[in-house]
Chains A and B, each alone.
Chain A
Amino acid sequence: MLDLNQRPEVTAQAETALRVKGLIKRYGAGPVILNGVSLSVRPGERVALIGSNGSGKSTLLRCLIGLHPASAGEVSCLGEDLSGRVDAATLARLRRQTGFVFQKHCLVRRRSVLSNVIHGMMGLPGSWRAFSAMTAPQVWREQAMTALEAVNLAPRAAERADALSGGQQQRVAIARALVRRPQLLIADEPAASLDPVAGRDVMALFSRLAAERGITLFFTSHDMAHAVEFADRVIALRAGRVVLDQPAARVTKGDLADVFA
């Protein structure tokens, strides 16, 4: 059985997990969402991205994995260059090494918890078998059960996803992201749709699993306590620009007040 505690397979050697230089993003003729963002993230680092609504956090996350193309500037993720036009093979290679967790858990409600975790195998060779626990190869089923065990939900594997609470569903989404041992985990406000207790539990789980497995974690959060507690470093955006970038331990209330001023 696959050991999810193993370090992820590194298919692309990179000194930095993420590198962004002068990134500009606008949609059509609309306003500029990201205005010259530059940052870099080391492998294994846990980084929180904070900022008020509309500051460009979610857009930045989507640009980082090529869901939305950059309008200008350089984006490199796990050694893959995402600047300009990106071919499908590069995107597929990158996404095979990346886990993405959304603000809402984005599970397929009517499918079992196990099927949802197996969906994490999509994009891999032979992934047409990943659409259901019924059709998945035995090794994938075992990997999915291991991932569910890591988030303490293995006993609920056969239940429908919508039978679980919001916090449990988010833990399933984390298991789905972890199931193929990604090098990079990107999470868009993973605790935003949860109550404070469930939100903190999910963030703690996230942070612990990433640290144990040496996964680079890049997450956005509205909760400053989460950002400071569960990240090694905090980066803040305001109106599409980086206005703060420093170790979490050194972030002060004054810094945060400036970000949301």
Chain B
Amino acid sequence: MSLPEPPGRYAGLSPVAFTLAVAALAIVFVSMGQVAPSPQRLIEGAPGMVRLMDRMLPPNLEPGFLVRIGWKIVETFQIALVGAFLGILVSLPVAWLAARGVTPLRLMAPVMKAFVSLLRTVPDLVWALLFVSTVGLGAVAGTMTILVDTVGFCGRFFAEAFEDADKEPQEALQAIGAGRLSVLFGAVLPDAMPSLINTGIFALEKAVRSSVVLGLVGAGGIGQELKVAFDLFQYRDASTIILAIFLVVIAMEWATDRLRTKVQ
């Protein structure tokens, strides 16, 4: 008995999909020609990079400077911690209102989702510029930026965790007369908790990385020192600050990895 013919090799690829794939590749190649570094540019830039490295080394390790940088690192961490903490707190009710099947206001869910999307799509440096313009230079603008950025990030993932929570315990509690708030606290939050904690930890990591650069636009933290160092050609100071940032981010990732392992 002869076997039936297998489907064609390109049967799953429609002409439209093929055309779109080719067009996308063409856009990438054209863009590369305009903005990607050419080998010649890289070769020409190499001596400049070597000169810069030479001026950055050795890092400035004067005690007075290190103390000042230490306090700025503390401020950066405070911005990240307070911004992320407040952002997570605000995200919980926002996510509750945005989560389909869990929200007490069904018509509000798409509106809240759109609001969270707006917070997420605007980059944190843009938020920082807005807050520097409204509340002035310094750490408060940075904290507010992290707060808004965290609501954009956690609002979405918390809402998804609420939507994915096991439905059967929720129905069981509704059947005995539990209200929406009781169902939220009794069934939804406990089931979503590991996901909420993981998302919260990622938000904190993200907040630490963001808070490092917010100072570039005047929103407080170590970034402000880095900008000043580059503006004044104090490259040895800059290298110390970059090393300090590197250590903070590594320490943060190590701590959150351990926390995540414990939670799981």
For the complex, what is the distance from the CA of A124 to the CA of B178, rounded to whole Å?
Answer: 8
Residue with the greatest number of chain A CB neighbours at <10 A, chosen from B171, B176, B181, B191: B176
Q: Is the CB of B182 within 8 A of A130?
A: yes
For the complex, what is the distance from the CA of A173 to the CA of B169, rounded to whole Å?
Answer: 10
Q: Is the CB of A104 within 8 A of B174?
A: no
Q: Is the CB of B174 within 8 A of A127?
A: no
Q: A122-B182, A128-B181 are in contact. Are A109 and B176 (CB under 8 A)?
A: no
Q: Which residue of B lies closest to A124 (CB)?
A: B177
A119 at interface, CB cutoff 8 A:
yes
Question: A107-B169, A124-B177, A131-B185 given. 15 additional CB < 8 A pairs?
Answer: A65-B175, A98-B175, A100-B172, A106-B168, A106-B169, A110-B190, A110-B193, A119-B186, A122-B173, A122-B177, A123-B176, A123-B182, A127-B182, A131-B186, A132-B185
Cβ proximity bits B163-207 to A, threshold 8 Å, 1 near / 0 not: 000101101111111110110011100110110000000000000
Q: Is the CB of A67 within 8 A of B190?
A: no
Q: A104-B168, A131-B185 are in contact. Are A119 and B173 (CB under 8 A)?
A: yes
For the complex, what is the distance from the CA of A122 to the CA of B166, rounded to whole Å?
Answer: 18
Q: Which of B147-173 contact A (CB under 8 A)?
A: 166, 168-169, 171-173
A14 at interface, CB cutoff 8 A:
no
Q: Which A residues are closer than 8 A to B by beta carbons? A: 65, 67, 91-92, 95-96, 98-100, 102, 104, 106-111, 119-120, 122-124, 127-128, 130-132, 173, 176-177
Q: A122-B182, A127-B182, A128-B182 are in contact. Are A108 and B175 (CB under 8 A)?
A: no
Number of A-B contacts defined by CB within 8 Å: 78
Q: Is the CB of B191 within 8 A of A100?
A: no
For the complex, what is the distance from the CA of A122 to the CA of B179, rounded to whole Å?
Answer: 8
- Which one, A107, A109, A111, A123, contacts B178 given CB within 8 A? A123
B47 to chain A, nearest CB (A): 60
Q: Which residue of A lies closest to B188 (CB)?
A: A108
Q: A108-B191, A120-B176 are in contact. Are A130 and B186 (CB under 8 A)?
A: yes
- Which one, A92, A110, A123, A177, contacts B191 given CB within 8 A? A110
Q: Is the CB of B186 within 8 A of A108?
A: yes
For the complex, what is the distance from the CA of A258 to the CA of B168, rounded to whole Å?
Answer: 33
B142 to chain A, nearest CB (A): 36
Contact residues in A for B191 (Cβ distance below 8 Å): 108-110
Q: A106-B169, A128-B182 are in contact. Are A95 and B175 (CB under 8 A)?
A: yes
Q: Is the CB of B177 within 8 A of A108?
A: no
Q: Is the CB of A108 within 8 A of B193?
A: no
Contact residues in A for B193 (Cβ distance below 8 Å): 110
For the complex, what is the distance from the CA of A173 to the CA of B172, rounded to whole Å?
Answer: 9
For the complex, what is the distance from the CA of A122 to the CA of B97, rounded to whole Å?
Answer: 22
Q: Which B residues are closer than 8 A to A by beta carbons? A: 166, 168-169, 171-179, 181-182, 185-187, 190-191, 193-194
Q: A108-B187, A109-B191, A131-B185 are in contact. Are A67 and B174 (CB under 8 A)?
A: yes
Contact residues in A for B172 (Cβ distance below 8 Å): 100, 102, 106-107, 173, 176
Contact residues in A for B185 (Cβ distance below 8 Å): 128, 131-132
For the complex, what is the distance from the CA of A41 to the CA of B91, rounded to whole Å?
Answer: 48
For the complex, what is the distance from the CA of A108 to the CA of B165, rounded to whole Å?
Answer: 10
Contact residues in A for B177 (Cβ distance below 8 Å): 91-92, 95-96, 122-124
B179 to chain A, nearest CB (A): 8
Contact residues in B for A99 (Cβ distance below 8 Å): 176
Q: A108-B187, A109-B166 are in contact. Are A131 and B175 (CB under 8 A)?
A: no
Residue with the greatest number of chain A CB neighbours at <10 A, chosen from B168, B172, B179, B191: B172
Contact residues in B for A176 (Cβ distance below 8 Å): 172, 176
Q: Is the CB of A102 within 8 A of B168?
A: yes
Q: Is the CB of A122 within 8 A of B186?
A: yes
Contact residues in B for A96 (Cβ distance below 8 Å): 177
Contact residues in A for B187 (Cβ distance below 8 Å): 108, 119
Q: Is the CB of A108 within 8 A of B178?
A: no
For the complex, what is the distance from the CA of A131 to the CA of B191, rounded to whole Å?
Answer: 13
For the complex, what is the distance from the CA of A220 to the CA of B173, rounded to whole Å?
Answer: 20
Contact residues in A for B181 (Cβ distance below 8 Å): 128
For the complex, what is the distance from the CA of A104 to the CA of B172, rounded to whole Å?
Answer: 10
Q: Is the CB of B186 within 8 A of A67?
A: no
Q: Which residue of B lies closest to A67 (CB)?
A: B175
What are 16 pairs between A and B in contact, CB < 8 Å?
A95-B177, A96-B177, A102-B168, A107-B169, A107-B172, A108-B169, A108-B187, A110-B194, A119-B186, A123-B176, A123-B177, A123-B182, A128-B181, A131-B185, A132-B186, A176-B172
For the complex, what is the distance from the CA of A100 to the CA of B187, rounded to whole Å?
Answer: 16
Contact residues in A for B169 (Cβ distance below 8 Å): 106-109
Contact residues in A for B171 (Cβ distance below 8 Å): 67, 102, 106
Contact residues in B for A173 (Cβ distance below 8 Å): 172
